[in-house]
Amino acid sequence: MRKIVLFLLLISFSFLSSKAQNTPKIHTVGAMKDMGTTYPLEVWLDTLPDKSNMFAMGPYDKMKGEITVFDGKPFFATAFVKDMGVVSQSWDIRSPFFVYSNVKDWEEFTLNGPFNSTQEIQEKVAALAISKGYDQKEPFAFRIAGKFNQITAHIVTPRSPEIEGYRPDVKSQKFFLENNNGELLGFYSEQHQGIFTGSNSFVHIHFLKDDQTFMGHLDEITSGTQSYKLYLPKKQALVKTVMQVNDTDFSKGRLGNIQNIDLDDLVKFHGHLCDGLVVGHLALQRAMQELYSDGIVDRTNTRIVSKASPCLTDAAIYLTGGRYQFNTFYISNNMDALFTVQRIDTQRAVAVHMKKGLKPMEIDQLGAMVVKGELSACDLDKLKGMEDNFTELLLSTDPKDNFTLTEITDFKWSPVLKNDYIKTDILNKNKTKCQ
Ligand SMILES: [Zn+2]
Ligand SMILES: [Zn+2]
């Protein structure tokens, strides 16, 4: 039982981290398994709408060779003459199946050699991607750059006499390369077998020599023991959580210390990532965007009334700079809104509400049971799973749809001192594990 719960927790956590961040989408046209013997051409590269930073691969035309698009440059290679590979460039080419992705920013990692097969590349890339927080269930492109001891690569050749470049009884031309600098471009997917990977592989890899005199489909490799540069697509948060703030620059300083604060910073301040914290962060981001339309928030010029929850209050004081002891922060549960935020110089005040029905009711129901001490250790884990899913929803849907702003024209600042709220996020701090 314990194992099952741990497993479920792991699932919900990886779900959370993967959905809060994503990598550029992989597109496919046609499929390896549907080429038959006639190789119908499914895509004309010229017609693809966005070629910027495109990385792609597929066969060239009716098996006339290989296509590799490298950062928006469309290379195609043919081997119409024995042992002679020819690399050209054009968008005016077609392919029976094609996989592509537009990757603007890459993250650089170190991949240690040796790797001596495509299978080993697949395993090493997956392991590194997982360790860096990538979701290997989602397809992604990767690149490996360096000097490779030995590479065997092929360029396919036409299968029927009416196609240009046909050579009887030759289906592809193998090339053997030694000590070449270049880059491997790969597509990794656990769900595209028969589409763009073989039936027992999760990768499709092409090799391009640095001097662009050779390009082909990778068959065999003996890398070398040195380290290589591995590039993975940079992850992007689906919802922008960063906020620019203008603070003073020393203990008696002036405004002008402009810095970015992000959800991660708030998480460290608060102690953990939770749904309430994300609600607070996104709700306040909305309010501050409204009050500071130039995009830079002045935390010395803002005061706030917050609901009492430990998550919302932490978000309130961190993001607005409001503090109880300076009369710029107090708590009220006698309002509909999560927060009412006021810009002091203009006196403009807005209230932020979360859309009704957005938060699953069970979360609050189970939350109320926690306060009464009625929730078992295992139910607690269930609640965490629900909250993580809600967090994921918040971070993958437009905050403009989830939070509404109301202008408060007759806002009255009525601070109260009250310090007997229950800090609900520490009630179970010594609770035993779910057995
Ligand atoms: Zn290929
Ligand atoms: Zn919390």
Q: What is the pLDDT of residues 209-222, one digit of tens each?
A: 999 999 999 999 99
Ligand 1 centre distance from Cα of residue 179 (Å): 21
CA distance 230 to 218: 16
Whether residue 30 contacts residue 406, with contact meaning beta carbons closer than 8 Å, is answered with no
Q: Please give the average per-residue pLDDT across 302-319, as a whole number.
A: 97
Instruction: Answer yes or no: is 11 within a domain.
Output: no
Instruction: Answer yes or no: is 354 within a domain.
Output: yes
Q: What is the 3-state secondary structure (H, E, C) of 32-99?
A: HHHCCCCCCCCEEHHHCCCCCCEEEEEEECCCCEEEEEECCEEEEEEEEECCEEEEEECCCCEECCEE
Ligand 1 centre distance from Cα of residue 246 (Å): 51
User: Does 332 share its domain with 226?
Assistant: no
User: Does 266 share its domain with 404?
Assistant: yes
Sequence letter at residue 185: L
Ligand 1 centre distance from Cα of residue 216 (Å): 7
- The ligand with the least distance to the CA atom of 273 is 2
> Which pLDDT does position 16 carry in this prediction?
37
User: Does 359 share its domain with 403?
Assistant: yes
Strands 203-209 and 172-188: antiparallel
- CATH code, domain with 59: 3.30.1330.80
> In the structure, what pLDDT confidence band is assigned to residue 146 with cuts at 50, 70 and 90?
very high
Q: Which residues surround ligand 1, an ion (CB under 5 A)?
A: 217
User: Does 279 share its domain with 353?
Assistant: yes
Whether residue 301 contacts residue 344, with contact meaning beta carbons closer than 8 Å, is answered with yes
Whether residue 225 contacts residue 15, with contact meaning beta carbons closer than 8 Å, is answered with no
Tell me the torsion sign for CA atoms 350, 355, 360, 362: positive
- How many percent of the chain have pLDDT more than 70? 95
Q: Which of 203, 234, 265 lies at the terminal end of a domain, its last residue? A: 234
Ligand 1 centre distance from Cα of residue 77 (Å): 11
User: Does 330 share its domain with 366?
Assistant: yes
Ligand 2 centre distance from Cα of residue 350 (Å): 24
- The ligand with the least distance to the CA atom of 186 is 1
Instruction: Answer yes or no: is 7 within a domain.
Output: no
Q: Among 93-102, 160-169, 183-192, 424-433, whose mean pLDDT is lowest? A: 424-433
Q: Which of 200, 234, 268 lies at the terminal end of a domain, its last residue? A: 234
Residue owning tokens 């810009």: 343
> Which pLDDT does position 404 carry in this prediction?
97
Ligand 1 centre distance from Cα of residue 43 (Å): 16
> Which pLDDT does position 21 carry in this prediction?
55
pLDDT digits (tens, 9 = 90+) for 159-183: 999 999 999 999 999 999 999 999 9
Instruction: Answer yes or no: is 229 within a domain.
Output: yes
Q: Which domain holds residue 358?
A: 243-426
In the predicted model, is pLDDT for residue 94 greater than 90?
A: yes
Ligand 2 centre distance from Cα of residue 270 (Å): 7
> What tokens appear for 366 in the block?
């189970």
Smallest CA-to-CA distance from 217 within 204, 228, 230, 229 is with: 204
Q: Please give the average per-residue pLDDT across 305-314, as a whole number.
A: 97
In the predicted model, is pLDDT for residue 6 greater than 50?
A: no
Half-sphere exposure of 335 (CA within 13 A, CB side): 24
Domains contained in the chain, number: 2
> In the structure, what pLDDT confidence band is assigned to residue 17 with cuts at 50, 70 and 90?
very low
- The ligand with the least distance to the CA atom of 118 is 1
Ligand 1 centre distance from Cα of residue 312 (Å): 52
CA distance 37 to 171: 12
- The ligand with the least distance to the CA atom of 280 is 2
In the predicted model, is pLDDT for residue 331 greater than 80?
A: yes
> What tokens appear for 302 in the block?
């803002």
